[in-house]
Chain A
Amino acid sequence: MLILLAFWALAGLGCGILFADTLNEINVGGFPLGFWFAQQGSIIVFVVLILVFCLVMNRRDLKHHEKIEDEKNQSGGDI
């Protein structure tokens, strides 16, 4: 999760704001890159971040659930 938050900071605060003037020197298509990050790129990154978070956490929950089930079976179901 800390990694995801780091990406959040990098895309939103980093590329969109802190390095925007430098990135603006680069043009991709008709967009200066810093401007693109501020107005489009950061939002796309945010959506992807939450998607990854959902997938990872839900998988972890599933594993955790299985572990509890296992423990239950081993101890004779008295948890």
Chain B
Amino acid sequence: MSVTLWTWIFVGLSFSLYLFIAWRSRVRDTKGFYVAGRGVPAHANGMATAADWMSAASFISMAGLISTMGYSGGVYLMGWTGGYVLLALLLAPYLRKSGRYTVPDFVGDRYESNIVRVIAVVCAIFVSFTYVAGQMRGVGVVFARFLERDVNEGVIIGMLIVFVYATLGGMKGITWTQVAQYWVLITAFLIPAIAISIKLTGTPVPQIGLGSTLKESVAGEKGVYLLDKLNQIQTDLGFSSYTDTFVGGWDKANVFFVALALMVGTAGLPHVIVRFYTVRNIKAARWSAFWALLFISLLYLTAPAMAGFARYYMIDSLNGKTENEIPQWFESWQETGLVMWFDDGDGVVRYSAGADNEIFNIKGASPAEIREIIASHATWKATNGAEGIDGRLLMRDRGIAGPDRDIIVLATPEMAGLADWIIAFVAAGGLAAALSTASGLLLVISSSVAHDLYAKIVNPDADEKKKLLVGRATIGVSVVIAGIFGIYPPGFVGQVVAFAFGLAAASFFPVLVLGIFSKRVGTVPAAAGMVVGIGFTGFYIIASVYAGMKPWTFGIFDHGIKPQGIGSIGMLLNFIVTLGLSRICSPPGQAALELIDSVREPEGVGPVIDIEEAMDH
């Protein structure tokens, strides 16, 4: 059977499973819709959180990033897992105790202000839409490559599936689908990694395989460590050594700030936090943070191994090959334009960091454009440069060398020559990762609009049925908007992800931590802190990404701070402003103080019970 047929089977099976689960867990009240009736067991919530968290970016792009970045790729690994420690220790149990439905809900009540609530809602919506656009695009890319469908068709199918199970089951439907999606995506990630690890090093544990010696049949000699071999190949071709620290623009300060921004941003992301509202009690909230990170670490510990293997195969299977030796996987990916070979005329592939590099990618180009560039390069080669355009010059002008990072995970099983069904299963895994994250984000958008804006501010008297209807309608509208973003991706999706983390780090994290641990911080300092944090971070990212501002060095760093890392400084500013103003402004009122006491009190006594019951009506 062909890869395409296998992919159809796996995609069909997994999609029907998701729909079946959605049908089984449809809900009738807002409590079920927003927080799954607060009845999710800790380990199931951990799995759902893990699936929610691990997006198309974690599944598809991350190993690719590490593969090209080497040591510096560790910032994503550390940043995206380290945040869970902050989340588990500082936020999750307390927020669960507050008994609220959403993050803006807690922030609004704690700081006794609808303005603060609205700021939080806007942040939550912005962060979520930024994210969801990328997920829908991820679905489209998988469909395009493995099912030979148009990218847009893939986006629409993805939209329909998410729409059905999110509106039907709300948080409850989403949670149980995410549990299923976790299993699909983690097995899809582990099977090829294990298979490749055995192939390269003979060790069935990829994490150990990365630090093991290559098999004699692979390396041609005995006892060579994979990483040593990789370093040697990399340096030979002019790349920087794979395990070397702080190369290029990634100096120590940048690695530090970017990792910190990602960690703090992770802890402040609303779609992750909201998952801890779904469990039965505080104890379960703590345990589910543990399970979540454990399940996430399965993928995050495997990704660097996959990255190392992929780097080895990528160079080994391309560099120095002649026209006839070009592997099959390369030709099928070439059609997508995500990896291209523009020969200089000698018929041998050269993949290097220097001017003689012949491997490029054209991301975002239409199939017609890709064919045109290839044809024109072929003319150039055939006429010895008299006619046509040298594709290499064209690519070098655009500044894109090497294969696209997003294909690494999807292409490595093919590079390693694994069985067709494994390759197809990886495609289903990528879809599961993208869909699970998209649905979690859509629910955040829906709850922010329907609960925080509509039910709390616009129409506080709305009855249960009406609230539920508004919730479902918002999800419907959000799915359509997300789909439009997926079909017409704003060119800046990649950069705005940095924006999402920066914003979450600079806005939510300080406000939530101080909201729980300080009794002195009132409305004005919190609002001012958020505005300063967002304003500074937003200004820096927009100015340096779009307006070409030179990154600031603050007079102490060798290289300017990357836009991804600026959230760390935004967060510090937020803390400084909030704490500074707190000395002057009035402390919070009685209701807020009681709320603080009740979230810190681990027992089920105190006013929190009343709040929960009052909100169930």
* Smallest beta-carbon distance A36→chain B, Å: 7
**B89 x A47 contact (CB < 8 A):** no
Instruction: Give the residue among A16, A30, A31, A61 with the most B Cβ atoms within 10 A.
Output: A30
**B605 x A42 contact (CB < 8 A):** no
* Smallest beta-carbon distance A10→chain B, Å: 12
**Cross-chain pairs A/B with CB under 8 angstroms, 14 sampled:** A5-B89, A12-B82, A12-B263, A16-B74, A21-B245, A24-B244, A28-B211, A30-B213, A32-B243, A38-B77, A39-B66, A46-B293, A50-B88, A50-B293
Contact of B81 with A by CB under 8 A: yes
Contacts of B300 in A (CB 8 A): 43
B interface with A by C-beta (< 8 Å): 66, 71, 73-75, 77-78, 81-82, 84-86, 88-89, 93, 207, 210-213, 225-228, 243-246, 252, 255-256, 259-260, 263, 282-283, 286-287, 289-290, 293-294, 297, 300-301, 304, 602-603, 605
Contact of A73 with B by CB under 8 A: no
9 extra interface residue pairs, beta carbon distance < 8 Å, beyond A31-B227, A39-B74, A43-B297? A8-B85, A16-B78, A32-B243, A38-B71, A42-B82, A49-B89, A50-B85, A58-B286, A61-B283
* Smallest beta-carbon distance A2→chain B, Å: 10
Per a CB cutoff under 8 Å, which of B78, B244, B246, B283 touches A43?
B78
**A30 x B228 contact (CB < 8 A):** yes
Determine chain B's interface SS by DSSP, over half rule: helix
User: Which chain A residue shows the least CB distance to B255?
Assistant: A17
**A38 and B286 contact, Cβ closer than 8 Å, known pairs A30-B225, A43-B301:** no
Interface residues of A in 39-79 (CB under 8 A from B): 39-40, 42-44, 46-47, 49-51, 53-54, 57-58, 60-61, 64-65, 68, 79
**A30 and B210 contact, Cβ closer than 8 Å, known pairs A4-B89, A39-B73:** yes
A49 to B90: give the CA distance in the assembly, Å.
13
The 6 closest A-B pairs by CB, nearest first: A38-B74, A30-B225, A30-B211, A39-B304, A35-B243, A31-B211
A50 to B244: give the CA distance in the assembly, Å.
30
Contacts of A43 in B (CB 8 A): 77-78, 81, 297, 300-301
Per a CB cutoff under 8 Å, which of B213, B260, B289, B603 touches A68?
B603
Number of interface residues of A (CB under 8 A): 41
**B297 x A46 contact (CB < 8 A):** yes
A interface with B by C-beta (< 8 Å): 1, 4-5, 8, 12-13, 16-18, 20-21, 24, 28-32, 34-36, 38-40, 42-44, 46-47, 49-51, 53-54, 57-58, 60-61, 64-65, 68, 79
A61 to B78: give the CA distance in the assembly, Å.
30
User: Which chain A residue shows the least CB distance to B303?
Assistant: A39
Contacts of A16 in B (CB 8 A): 74, 78, 259
**B71 x A20 contact (CB < 8 A):** yes
**B84 x A50 contact (CB < 8 A):** yes
Contacts of B75 in A (CB 8 A): 38
**A44 and B89 contact, Cβ closer than 8 Å, known pairs A32-B243, A50-B289, A51-B290:** no
